[in-house]
Amino acid sequence: MNLIVLLGDYKVFWLLFLALVMVVGYFIRRRDKQVLNSKVKAFEENKQKLIKLEEDLKESNAKNKALNEELGAIKQRLNIVAGQQPKSENGGGLQEDDSNNRLDEISNSETQRLVDSTIGQVNQGGIVEPPKKSLKFEALMSDNLQIVEGIGPKMESVLKENGVINWLVLSEQKKEDLRGILELYGNKYKIIDPDSWAEQASYAATGSWSQLVSMQKGLDAGKYIGQGETTAKVEKVMVKLGIIKEYRQDDFKAIEGIGPKIAELLNREGINTWQELAMTELRSLQNILDKAGKRYQLSDPRTWPKQAALAAEGRYDELSDYQELLKGGV
């Protein structure tokens, strides 16, 4: 009897022990599950943070690229302010007339206005806002290799197949590297001359449009032929995209501040071309307006020779930049 009671107590003990183990096991599994869920949640949070950092990095790179392009545009526009004197047809520069205060000497206030419009304004939050003008060239996409003289649709496709996807990459290519790419596509590509492509692309990548226009006027299918009078390839693209305007040769409508009536006055005085207007002294222009009567008193011809010189030399992108700073030709 005592043995039976003892065995019964033994069974109860083990049942209680197993129950305790199950309870402890349950709480341990529950704790482990909570720890695992916590780690999974932390992992997901870190994953989201990593994705956000990658997006911030891309945005930062894009802003850095935009700032570099803006810096190139600033350098280009400050070159205009520096008063680059246009050359006449006989190879000589325009003669500076100190007594008449020629337009080529841009005033300090005009220079400051250029700098202000170029670098943007600081808003109340202290953020530098880019000028509206900087958006003008956004239509020129950096992957448009066809603005380079000598590169057409097929050649652009060949270059992009070989990793040359934009102006910056093209500007970093050596001549032998480009020739090596061309040789991969057979004999018909070997006759193409890519020697000028990298330099053209470097001007485009830095926003040095005037230099690119000047260079392309001396190229034919990418080959150097000497300075010519033809329209640069990039100018044609800019006109097509509405970035710059194209005028008939010696059309005074291209000059900000000159309308049909004033154009007639200038024609009567023997000023019929951009080059002639560029060579005309400021005092002479003012005398023409004064003789025409009071209705022309508000006209200010100070910038006309400068504009005419840029038009005469085919520097339409610089002319467009300059005219965006003017109000009624001043």
Instruction: Please write the tens of the pLDDT for every residue from 89-116.
Output: 343 433 434 434 433 443 444 444 444 4
Residues 148 and 236 in one domain: yes
Residues 209 and 264 in one domain: no
Residues 257 and 199 in one domain: no
Give me the pLDDT at residue 298, please.
81
Q: Which two tokens stand for residue 255?
A: 């000059």
Residues 232 and 257 in one domain: no
In a domain, 95, yes or no: no
Task: Tell me the C-alpha distance between 274 and 47, whole Å.
Answer: 63
Residues 199 and 224 in one domain: yes
In a domain, 285, yes or no: yes
In a domain, 102, yes or no: no
Give me the pLDDT at residue 45, please.
81
In a domain, 41, yes or no: no
Beta strands at 121-122 and 128-129: parallel, antiparallel or unpaired = antiparallel
Query: What is the signed CA dihedral for 4, 6, 9, 15, rounded to 10 degrees?
Result: -80
In a domain, 30, yes or no: no
Residues 235 and 156 in one domain: yes
In a domain, 299, yes or no: yes
Task: Tell me the C-alpha distance between 322 and 320, whole Å.
Answer: 5
| The domain boundary residue, chosen from 212, 241, 270 | 241
Enclosing domain of residue 291: 252-323
How would residue 230 be classed by pLDDT, with cut points 50, 70 and 90?
low
Residues 222 and 305 in one domain: no
Q: Which two tokens stand for residue 64?
A: 């850095």
Q: Could you write out the DSSP letters of every residue in 229-263? A: -SPPHHHHHHHHHTSS----TT-GGGSTT--HHHH
Sign of CA dihedral 283, 83, 115, 136: positive
Residues 186 and 148 in one domain: yes
Rounded alpha-carbon distances, angstroms, from residue 125 to 116, 121, 136, 140: 18, 11, 25, 31
Give me the pLDDT at residue 4, please.
53
Task: Tell me the C-alpha distance between 190 and 184, whole Å.
Answer: 9
| The domain boundary residue, chosen from 208, 241, 274 | 241
Beta-carbon contacts of 184 under 8 Å, excluding residues fewer than 6 positions away, are 162
Residues 152-178, mean pLDDT to the nearest whole number: 93
In a domain, 9, yes or no: no
Contact 106, 83 (CB under 8 A): yes
Is 61's pLDDT higher than 50?
A: yes
Rounded alpha-carbon distances, angstroms, from residue 154 to 56, 128, 161: 36, 41, 11
| The domain boundary residue, chosen from 171, 206, 241 | 241
Residues 173 and 226 in one domain: yes
As for how many domains the chain has, the answer is 2
Residues 173 and 236 in one domain: yes
In a domain, 152, yes or no: yes
Residues 283 and 258 in one domain: yes
How would residue 289 be classed by pLDDT, with cut points 50, 70 and 90?
very high
Q: Between 318 and 138, where is the model more confident?
A: 318
Residues 317 and 230 in one domain: no
Q: Give the closest residue to 253 by CA, choosing from 244, 263, 243.
A: 263
